[in-house]
């Protein structure tokens, strides 16, 4: 029988140095015994370390699956910043070599299939530990935990939970958007159906933007639409069975006016095939480039309102609103720092073997939120009882 958990070796392999690799990597250089940054070429990895002020603190490597596997040792931690479609292959290599695995992406079916083998081998698999998914989970668990204490699990109640996140330009532009990840990914996300709960019933929209609503955050009006499948998160967030969802939506925030500014893009999405959408992504990247002078803004707003019987009601909200600076984009900070925090918990042995989606309980989420606040990821929490 294997040990309950393979002890962490102290070596972290950070794979990929794209737009979301930020100061979280520096935090790991402060705590891990050894950090290796893997990128397309060793030169590009070295350039990324120089940009982050980490030259000499992490070792640059040219990434290929075979090259990474050759350096893996039992107890190492692999952090994947690669596209989600590549996570399963990386996790398979980790299972073979006895290494732990972490990423900021949603759990795919291909990753889930390997979780039993990873857990049996004593390995930790940390997922959904970035911004969205990631910090949004922490906010939701915190709110649900506090609401359960106030209202009670067995008290019949109706609730509304909304969780909206968006990366937008700090200074609004005519396009009402700033690409903080690959345009192809943005477009394909808009082509994917969304399932959510509204007026007490499950709804599906094949074109998420067609379900866009006005949404006020701290006195500012945004546009918001559902994305992916919100419904499984009712169970993941531990909402009591005695509570009935009136509204449960996880979605995306955009600046007011985005729907009109993107009208031409939506026409292309309705009519275009895969080849046309791929070409459109390139056109948008060229037409709306991100420059060093640009500043991005991340807004994450999660709120929960519970209306129970006999006056046992509760409402609360969490808001993260961060603008990037010359050293780092807001998106890179908000993705890389919670991911690095999770990796630090793998290194210190406090995350058991098996699958973890960020911090999966209210108590654990409160702990992570305190640590993130101390690490410079600022947010506000508000409660009305």
Predicted local confidence at residue 36, as pLDDT: 98
pLDDT, residue 290, reads 84
* Residue 30 appears among annotated catalytic residues: no
Q: pLDDT digit string (tens) for 174-212? A: 999 998 778 999 999 999 999 999 999 999 999 999 999
Q: Say how many CA atoms lie within 13 Å of 53 toward its Cβ.
A: 9
Task: Using alpha carbons, select from 94, 173, 106 the residue that is nearest to residue 136.
Answer: 106
Left if phi > 0, otherwise alpha if psi is -120 to 50, otherwise beta: which for 45?
alpha
Q: Which of 366, 146, 321 is nearest to 217 (CA)?
A: 321
Per-residue pLDDT at 11 exceeds 60: yes
pTM of the full structure: 0.95
Distance, in Å, from the CA atom of 218 to the CA atom of 225, rounded to the nearest integer, reads: 18
Average pLDDT over residues 354-358: 96
Q: Which residue has the higher pLDDT, 311 or 172?
A: 172
* Joined tokens for residue 7: 């002890």
Could you tell me the sign of the dihedral formed by the alpha carbons of 186, 227, 161, 152, in that order? Answer: negative
The tens digit of pLDDT for each residue in 257-306 reads: 999 999 999 999 999 899 999 999 999 999 999 887 889 999 999 999 99
Q: For residues 61-83, b (16+ Cβ closer than 10 Å) or e, as one string? A: bebeeeebbeebeebbbbbbbbe
Distance of CA 37 to the CA centre of its chain: 21
Q: Which of 375, 299, 295, 381 is nearest to 341 (CA)?
A: 375
Q: Which of 30, 50, 132, 274 is catalytic?
A: 132
Q: pLDDT-derived band of residue 26, with 50, 70 and 90 as boundaries?
A: very high
Q: Is 67 helix (H, G, I), strand (E, B) or coil?
A: helix
Q: Give CA–CA dist 358/134, Å, rounded.
A: 6
Question: What pLDDT does 385 receive?
Answer: 61
């Amino acid at each position: 029988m294997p040990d309950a958990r393979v002890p962490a070796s102290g070596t972290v392999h950070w794979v990929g140095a794209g737009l979301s690799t930020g100061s979280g990597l520096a935090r790991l250089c402060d705590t891990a015994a050894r950090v290796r940054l893997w990128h397309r070429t060793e030169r590009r990895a070295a350039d990324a370390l120089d940009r982050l002020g980490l030259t000499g603190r992490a070792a640059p490597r040219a990434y290929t699956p075979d090259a990474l596997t050759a350096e893996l040792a039992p107890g190492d931690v692999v952090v994947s910043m690669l596209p989600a479609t590549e996570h399963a292959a990386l996790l398979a290599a980790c299972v073979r070599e006895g290494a732990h695995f972490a990423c900021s992406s949603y759990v795919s079916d291909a990753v889930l299939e390997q979780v039993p083998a990873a857990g049996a081998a004593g390995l930790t698999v940390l997922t959904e530990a970035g911004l969205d998914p990631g910090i949004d989970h922490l906010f939701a668990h915190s709110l649900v935990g506090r609401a359960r204490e106030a209202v009670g699990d067995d008290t019949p109640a109706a609730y509304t939970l909304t969780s909206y996140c968006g990366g937008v330009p700090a200074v609004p532009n005519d396009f009402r958007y700033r690409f903080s990840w690959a345009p192809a990914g943005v477009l394909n996300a808009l082509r994917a159906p969304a399932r959510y709960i509204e007026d007490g019933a499950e709804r599906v929209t094949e074109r998420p933007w067609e379900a866009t609503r006005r949404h006020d955050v701290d006195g500012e009006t945004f546009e918001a639409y559902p994305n992916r499948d919100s419904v499984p998160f009712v169970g993941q967030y531990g909402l009591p069975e005695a509570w009935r969802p009136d509204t449960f939506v996880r979605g995306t925030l955009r600046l007011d006016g985005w729907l009109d500014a993107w009208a031409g893009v939506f026409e292309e999405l309705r009519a275009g095939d895969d080849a046309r959408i791929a070409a459109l992504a390139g056109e948008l990247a060229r037409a709306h480039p991100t420059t060093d002078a640009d500043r991005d803004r991340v807004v994450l707003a999660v709120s929960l309102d519970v209306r129970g019987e006999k006056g046992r009601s509760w409402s609360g909200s969490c808001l993260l609103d961060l603008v990037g600076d010359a050293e780092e984009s807001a998106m890179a900070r908000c993705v890389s720092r919670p991911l690095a925090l999770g990796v630090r918990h793998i290194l210190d042995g406090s995350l058991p073997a098996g699958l973890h989606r960020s911090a999966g309980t209210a108590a654990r989420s409160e702990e992570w939120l305190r640590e993130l606040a101390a690490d410079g990821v600022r947010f506000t929490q508000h409660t009305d009882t």
